[in-house]
Amino acid sequence: MRAKYWAGAVGAKHAVIGRKRVLCAFSHGKLQAISKLMPGDRFAYYAPPEGYSEGEVVQAFVATGTVSEGAPFETDFDGYTASARAARYNLETRASVRPFLESLVFVSNPKNWGMAFRRSLFEISAEDFALVDSAMRQGA
């Protein structure tokens, strides 16, 4: 089965917790969201703010990873129960989204680019993932 690529909007704090605990979660820990991802799928975390819905503005991709083997499981995630999957993290650095917004296929309207991330978790093309990955490697 071919790996899929995903982008998820999370607080930067969420990405740090996921990396430390070697797991990933999306859409405030909803089982429906994490069930879309399968082992081998790649993901990129985009952080609008530092916290979950508050804090310093980030507007950057902050981590990429790969979903590990195993089924979704419930865990305490910073004080709330979340459905998650085991994950390996590949990159943890910040790459501002603004320099390459117009190159991302999933951003259909660069003037209102933030709307693309309101979906919380969405599939992206391999090419878009490669752009994110490249931008993050340059920032590392």
- DSSP assignment of 38-104, as one string? -TT-EEEEEEEESSSSSSSEEEEEEEEEEEPSS--EEEEETTEEEEEEEEEEEE---EESGGGGGG-
Q: Is the pLDDT of residue 140 over 70?
A: no
**Integer CA distances (angstroms), 53 to 48, 56, 58, 109, 120, in order:** 8, 10, 11, 23, 12
Q: Is the dihedral of CA 9, 10, 16, 17 positive or negative?
A: negative
pLDDT in tens, 73-110: 999 988 889 999 999 999 888 999 999 999 999 999 88
How does the average pLDDT of the chain come out, rounded?
91
Q: Is the pLDDT of residue 53 over 80?
A: no
Q: Is the pLDDT of residue 35 over 70?
A: yes
Fold (topology level) of 5-133: ph1033 like fold (3.10.590)
φ, ψ dihedrals at 53, nearest 5°: -145, 10
Per-residue pLDDT, averaged over 49-66, amounts to 83
